[in-house]
Amino acid sequence: MSSEHADPATVHVSVLRERCVELLAPALQAEGAVYVDATCGMGGHTEAVLEACPAARAVCIDRDEEALALAGRRLERFGSRASFAHASFDHLAEVLAERGVAEVQAVLFDLGVSSLQLDDVDRGFSYRADAPLDMRMDRSQSLTAAEVVNTYEVGRLWTILRRYGEERHARRIAENIGRMRAERPLRTTGDLVRAVETATQSHEHRGHPAKRVFQAIRIEVNGELSEIESAVPQALAATAVGGRVAVMSFQSLEDRIVKRILREACTTTAPPGLPEIPEDQLPRFRALTRGAEQAGEDERARNRRSASVRLRAVERIRGRKR
């Protein structure tokens, strides 16, 4: 279904919507408070935040123009309280600077591929249907999954599958892709699935054999992990005292990065054993969640995408270091 006719409220159910509002709303009560939805998608979380926080305004960022179009329709009733930026989330600081926003009160990241992207067969994110090998979240970029699969050296493919997919059979699969593309290029998701299946047909699998391979290639195409490394620190730096940052991850590689960055923000930089910690070495943030929160059984039953979510959130308790 195209963005022109889709109803964003039915196309996508936002994961942990109420919990995200509960975590972020206390920082968004003052008039003019700024909420940044760094991965706006179809606007479900932003809609909930703007309803709960009538004094706040939202800056909605997404690299997917189709998703932004749907979010624009969904949030139209909020008028100028919602503004939109077509950008990847690692441009967060740049987007805020363009709007003259010096600091914000809340930021939300909903990482990974969206339901809109997975459900649109033609975009090539799913291993369950045959489609062009694309996998671009931002269709204006040039790099596609087809280019990765057909032009990367086999050794580089092996590294990507092992690192980004944690795929046990990475070498076997990469070598088989090399053999198959020597005969003819792999052009569709079906071609890639066959390459995986023929390489691993004598091995047992948990779930679909191509799941981790598709994850790895998608991460490479969209530079997802490097963007998290850049974007989450940008969000922390932009957050005012009393402001909050929440991050939802959907696979272990994302969550490890987020966990490390947030833990560092909540930890003193002073060496152990000091009788008194200098002000500039005290933690800038405190954790709002105990470890990573997961969706409850009811939500997992209603929304299968919530099954793998890990939610972490922090609050700024001290100003920026000078």
Domains and CATH numbers, the chain: 8-110+224-316 (3.40.50.150), 120-222 (1.10.150.170)
**Per the annotation, where are the binding residues?**
43-45, 62, 89, 110, 117
* pLDDT tens-digit series, residues 238-286: 999 999 999 999 999 999 999 999 999 999 888 887 888 888 888 999 9
pLDDT computed for residue 320 by the predictor: 73
| CA gap 284, 279 in Å, rounded | 10
- Give just the sign of the alpha carbon dihedral 304, 115, 230, 28: negative
Instruction: Report which secondary-structure segment, H or E, holds 247.
Output: strand 239-249
On average, the pLDDT of the chain sits at 92
Report whether pLDDT(104) > 70: yes
SS3 191: helix
pLDDT computed for residue 3 by the predictor: 43
**Per the annotation, where are the binding residues for S-adenosyl-L-methionine?**
43-45, 62, 89, 110, 117
When computed from its CA atoms, the radius of gyration of the chain, rounded to whole angstroms, is 21
Could you give the dihedral angle defined by the CA atoms of residues 175, 185, 117 and 196, in that order, rounded to the nearest 10 degrees?
-30
* pLDDT tens-digit series, residues 113-161: 887 777 788 899 999 889 999 999 998 999 999 999 999 999 999 999 9
Strand partners, 313: 246
Instruction: Report which secondary-structure segment, H or E, holds 97.
Output: helix 92-98
Query: Residue 273 corresponds to which amino acid?
Result: G
Query: Residue 158 corresponds to which amino acid?
Result: W
How far is Cα of residue 130 from the mean position of the Cα atoms in its chain?
Answer: 25
Report whether pLDDT(6) > 80: no
CB 295 within 8 A of CB 16: yes
Confidence of residue 112 (pLDDT cuts 50, 70, 90): confident
Report whether pLDDT(204) > 60: yes
* pLDDT tens-digit series, residues 21-62: 999 999 999 999 999 999 999 999 999 999 999 999 999 999
| CA gap 244, 35 in Å, rounded | 9
